[in-house]
Structure 1
Amino acid sequence: MAASHGLEVRNEDGRTPLMCAAGLGDTEILVTLLNSGADKDAQDKNGATALHNAARRGSAECLRLLLDAGWSKDVQDDEGDTPLHLAAQCGNAGCVDLLLKAAVKKDLRNTIGDTPLHRAADNGHAGCVELLLEAGVEKDLRNTIGDTPLHRAADNGHAGCVELLLKAGVEKGLKDNEGNTALDVAKDDPCRSLLEKASGSTGT
């Protein structure tokens, strides 16, 4: 059995050697472990898999190897994040692209209701936002506090993401749980200008 060869030995975080290799972006060790029969369903103490670690790290090659090996690509960790959430959150556009091409579920929500688009917009990763929009994700989903991806981008001053979302035709007037639109929460002048222009052009 794989465990008898030490493939499933875990560290203090509950990570197996395969998870660690994915997190370090070490493709050589990863291939060796895959060929030795490492457990593809193993999760660490936080519910993350090797695929989560590769997506967070931004190792597109490790991610590709895991996907080619038939890894479960939509597993959610204890915070509800999928590998796509983590790739988008960390700005790893190459990993986002690979996951989308692997036909992952694009609009899964984590425990606070965020989709991968929320995470990309919240952190200002315009390249990831663009890839997700091109893949046809739901643009106007609200999280548990009522924020849309546009709210998150505007609130954090990410004008590039705001511009992409507006061009994609998001609903500009949606309100969060406190009754605020994206324009209401925008703190940055470029974001405010973009939102004011968009609102003025439609008369909303």
Structure 2
Amino acid sequence: MAIGSSKLPLVTYLLNNGANPNANRRGETNSALETAAISASPEIVQLLLKHGAEICNRSALHKAASYGHLQICRILIDAGDDVNAIPDNEDLFENTTERDDWGTPLHGAAGNGHTECVRFLLEKSARRDVRNPNGLTPGEVAQRRGHTECAALLV
């Protein structure tokens, strides 16, 4: 399913005609929801959720936070995504566990310097003390990557 901000009519048509919003949910492939989160398409994210797209144990929220897509983060958290979860699809990229920004959505936002997303996630009870697979907290990731404003929020 092609996802992008200009693809809303196509996605609507496909979903209304029986397309499975959870197709291609293998670990090594982005789901439609994860792709929409990366593409910053709130309308498509909402449409996919309405049609049953699964959010649990996936990386849509992590991706939205990593890209600084605050509106998508809001939608996903309002839909019940876990602000403190580490996605279980780490095999999405060959080097995911080697990346220091892999972990909770807060790791993704802090590791990529998205201060507003960090603030929002903290307001939504994101934990500062969760360690990612590399043993780093979100604050340590922000500091390591030189995002001092994010690091200061995570002290």
TM range (shorter): 0.7 to 0.9
From 111, 134, 154, the counterpart of 1:122: 111
Q: In the TM superposition, what is the alpha-carbon distance from 1:156 to its structure 2 partner?
A: 1.3
Residue of structure 1 equivalent to 2:75: 98
User: 1:38: Cα distance to partner?
Assistant: 0.2
- Residues 112-147 of structure 1 show CA distances to partners (whole Å, capped at 9, x for unaligned) of 361111011000011111111111122111112221
Partner amino acid, structure 2, of 1:142: R
1:105 deviates by 1.7
Q: Deviations over 1:50-102 (max 9, x none)?
A: 100000111111111111222111253xxxxx100110111111101111111
Identical aligned pairs, as a percentage? 35
After TM superposition, give the deviation of residue 41 of structure 1 in Å.
Answer: 2.0
| CA–CA separation in structure 1 for the residues paired with 2:103 and 2:11 | 30
The match for 2:48 among 66, 80, 83 is 66
- Asked if the contact 1:124/1:153 (under 8 Å) is kept, the reply is yes
Structure 2 match to 1:49: 31
Q: TM-score, normalised by structure 2?
A: 0.83
Structure 1 unaligned residues grouped into runs of 5+: 1-17, 77-81, 167-204
Higher RCO (Cα < 8 Å, 6 or more apart)? 2
Deviation at 1:162, TM superposition (A): 1.7
Take 2:55 and 2:119, find their aligned partners in 1: how far apart are those partners?
A: 21
Match of 1:11 in 2: none
Letter in 2 for 1:145: N
Structure 1: distance between partners of 2:76 and 2:56? 10
Q: Stretches of 4+ moved more than 6 A in 1?
A: none
Q: 2:66 aligns with which of 79, 89, 92?
A: 89
User: Counterpart of 2:135 in 1: which secondary structure?
Assistant: coil
The alignment yields a C-alpha RMSD, in angstroms, of: 1.7
In our comparison, the structure showing a higher alpha carbon Rg is 1
Aligned length: 142
8 Å CA contact retained: 2:57, 2:85? no
